[in-house]
Amino acid sequence: MKKSESKRDFLKKGLTLGIGLPLVGTGLLSCMAEGESKKTPLRILILGGTSFLGPHQVAYAISRGHKVTTFTRGKTIPTVNTEAFEQVESLIGDRQDNLTALENREWDVVIDNSGRAADWTHRTAELLKDKVGMYLYISSTGVYYPHREANVDEDTPVLLKDPLKEDGTAPERDSFGVMKAKSELEAIKSFGEDRTTVVRPTYMLGPADRTDRFMYWPLRLAKGGDIFVPGKADDPVQYIDVRDVAEWCIRLAENKTAGTYNAAGPQNPQGVLEFAEKASKAFDVESNIVLVEDTAFLKEQRVSFIIPWIMPEDDYYASALVQNKRAIQAGLSFREVKTTVKDTYDWWNSEAVDTERKTKYEQNTRTVLAREKAILEAWQVAKG
């Protein structure tokens, strides 16, 4: 068995890398709602836990008195909620070929964040099915790809096999959506429907995001002035604060809620204009939204998405039209988008994001952030 890294070693590694940020924006010391009964502490195993979604699950779980174990390769060091990791047991292994650290142990629930192959889920679910009460698999609304149908819900059939390539041969590996759909079934096969929870998040936003795909909004809106917003006013957008997903996962585990759920926000359908207006409230500056609705112009400018907006065409026609009713009934709640934008901005400007990453993104001349002024000037010319 590979050694179980002590919390101190783990934290020390984080500190050596100059990472340290207090518990981010969750109000963690008071996250028990009024009137909410105290839950029995759970032993929670998180497969993963140290990148984006994981640290928010960890912090919320610890704040509610649960015991948390993470299982990773020990490569990714958490950049937020680092204090919470002082109380976490960190197991080291590899989902690809080393699950030894998970053997002969018991937990109440396993949360599988790090699934990247159906076979990985098969092996962990088989190994843990008699030792763990429940399997919570983090899937994705990507299971509905290609997104050609509006209002899909959890009962909509999903692809379990990729179409053949143009040359008639089968693809070498599963596409992301097919991999997630097959993984969900692997969890259910081992744990049974009554002990499996599948959470399908849409685009998650918030502190600790390792992608830069949302950063246009906080960085641009913070400055005010004329703000380029692409798309028709009613082009649908869906997104969710990563902390809303994380906290809900822990509550699903506390309540032993099984079933499949689309974790998609906001609560009510929203167009890109409303999104931009609400997001701009994150900052106390004057903003003037310049909505550029002309699809041909946007394509000419190579603007086909700025998450959460994706040009609603072809295979992405309905990517932001996923039903969220079942999840809301099961207790999913949503932060206001201005909170997500402000907290993401503050996180980006904190030490949790290294200077190299900030500089690389902010000076990348190909991003819409860098090209915005030129796009708006070209738009004035195009309009005549």
Ligand X SMILES: NC(=O)c1ccc[n+]([C@@H]2O[C@H](COP(=O)([O-])OP(=O)(O)OC[C@H]3O[C@@H](n4cnc5c(N)ncnc54)[C@H](OP(=O)(O)O)[C@@H]3O)[C@@H](O)[C@H]2O)c1
Give the strand pairing for 305-306 and 309-310.
antiparallel
Nearer to ligand X, 227 or 241 (CB): 241
CB of 169 to ligand X, least distance (A): 26
- How far apart, in whole angstroms, are the C-alpha atoms of residue 118 and residue 48? 16
How far apart, in whole angstroms, are the C-alpha atoms of residue 66 and residue 69?
10
Of 191 and 228, CB closest to ligand X: 191
d(CA 44, CA 41): 9
- Shortest reach from residue 72's CB to ligand X, in Å: 3
Least spacing, CB of residue 35 vs ligand X, in Å: 31
Nearer to ligand X, 110 or 292 (CB): 110
Q: Distance between CA atoms of 206 and 192, rounded to whole angstroms?
A: 33
Q: How far is the CB of 379 from ligand X (least distance, A)?
A: 29
CB of 76 to ligand X, least distance (A): 3
What's the min distance (Å) between Cβ of 115 and ligand X? 5
User: In the structure encoding, which two tokens stand for residue 256, read together?
Assistant: 């032993």
Query: Of 136 and 330, which CB lies nearer to ligand X in the complex structure?
Result: 136
Please name every residue paired with 135 in a beta bridge, in sequence order, or none if there are none. 110, 196
Q: Is 73 or 278 the residue whose CB approaches ligand X more closely?
A: 73
Tell me whether residue 16 or residue 37 sits nearer to ligand X (CB atom).
Answer: 16
> Nearest approach, Cβ of 167 to ligand X (angstroms)?
29
Nearest approach, Cβ of residue 290 and ligand X (Å): 27
Of 301 and 319, the one with the shorter C-beta distance to ligand X is 319
Residue 372 Cβ, how far from ligand X at the closest point, in Å? 23
Q: Which is nearer to ligand X, 118 or 227 (CB)?
A: 118
Q: Which is nearer to ligand X, 76 or 333 (by Cβ)?
A: 76
Binding site for ligand X (CB under 6 A): 48-54, 72-76, 94-96, 113-115, 138, 140, 201, 203-204
